[in-house]
Amino acid sequence: MDWSALPPMTALRALAAYADTGSMTAAGARLNVSHAAISQQIKGLEDRMGLSLIDRARGKGGLTPEGHALAETTLDAFANIAMLSAELTGRDAERPIQVSTTPTFASSWLMPRLAGFRQKHPELSLMVDPTPELREIKPGGLDMAVRYGSGNWPGLEADLIVESTIAIVASPDLVGTGDFESPGDLTQFHWLQELGTSEASEFLSRYGAVLNTAKGLTSLPGNLLLEAARAGQGIGVAARAFIQPDVDSGRLRILFEDTRNDGYYLVYRPGVMRPSARALYRWIKSETEAEFG
């Protein structure tokens, strides 16, 4: 790392503020300095780098592509630092814990038990975001996420909390009690597909190549899929761990089971976790250990 290549931070800050506000005067106000300071800083930066950063021809607020790129990168870099430092100093203690989970995990596991966490930590507030895709986990944003997979998320820590294969299930009312040779034999039935979540979608999208002669396919959110399968409306693909009650009671049969033993992981950034998030982390770990471990 060549520190001497770094432009002065004050100048970058001025540029970022200018990009953000669209005017020197406003940028000055934002940073609690005069407009002249902004003007001088930006000019100094342009001199130093030997290229123009703001586009003086157009109406106000114009940046050249280079200026825009530099402002973006700067803003991003500074924001990361600001968020982390807010976390470390505890200035964000009251900010809600933010967790993203797959819809299935949220409805099948988390929601039923949330009251227990609330009771244990009444002072903490929590935001649960059940979305298919994993968004970025970073200081100031998501604290952690629950994802289905093999535990390999580059740059992130991942603790296995619930081991579970993927199972192909159906109501006995639909498929009877006989055996099937391969998933291909099930093409005579209607299929239920989960809307793009990590548990089943890849599995299905691959089998889809084989099953595309099927009798049709309904896509619906994960929490409704099991209900539909129980009602005999089709063949469903679901995480094994959350259908045991249905199997025990005979409402669902497991027709095939993936041999790969993936599972639900608690995913988070390496390093220090803020206290409120750590409380949730410990609670999820102990609850799942008590239940599955």
Which of DNA, a second copy, none lies near 206, with the C-beta cut-off 5 to 8 A by kind?
Answer: a second copy
Q: Which of 22, 40, 77, 173 binds a second copy (CB under 8 A)?
A: 77
Q: Can you tell me the distance from the alpha carbon of 281 to that of 202, in angstroms, rounded to the nearest whole number?
A: 28
Span of 62-70, 105-113, 122-130, 275-283 interacting with a second copy by CB under 8 A: 62-70
14 binding DNA? (CB under 7 A):
yes
Cα distances (angstroms) measured from residue 46 to each of 19, 30, 81, 277: 15, 21, 25, 43
Residue count at the site for DNA (CB under 7 A)? 27
Q: Can you tell me the distance from the alpha carbon of 73 to that of 53, in angstroms, rounded to the nearest whole number?
A: 14
Q: Can you tell me the distance from the alpha carbon of 137 to that of 144, in angstroms, rounded to the nearest whole number?
A: 6
Which of a second copy, DNA, none lies near 208, with the C-beta cut-off 5 to 8 A by kind?
Answer: a second copy
Q: Can you tell me the distance from the alpha carbon of 113 to that of 284, in angstroms, rounded to the nearest whole number?
A: 10
Span of 27-35, 168-176, 239-247, 267-275 interacting with DNA by CB under 7 A: 27-35
Which of 70, 106 has the CB closer to DNA?
Answer: 70
Q: Which of 30, 43, 68, 190 binds DNA (CB under 7 A)?
A: 43
Lookup: tokens for 69: 């790129």
Cα distances (angstroms) measured from residue 97 to each of 3, 52, 53, 149, 279: 36, 42, 39, 23, 10
User: Whole-number minimum distance, CB 77 to a second copy, in Å?
Assistant: 3
Site residues (vs DNA, CB under 7 A):
8-11, 14, 23-26, 28, 31-37, 39-44, 54, 56, 59-60
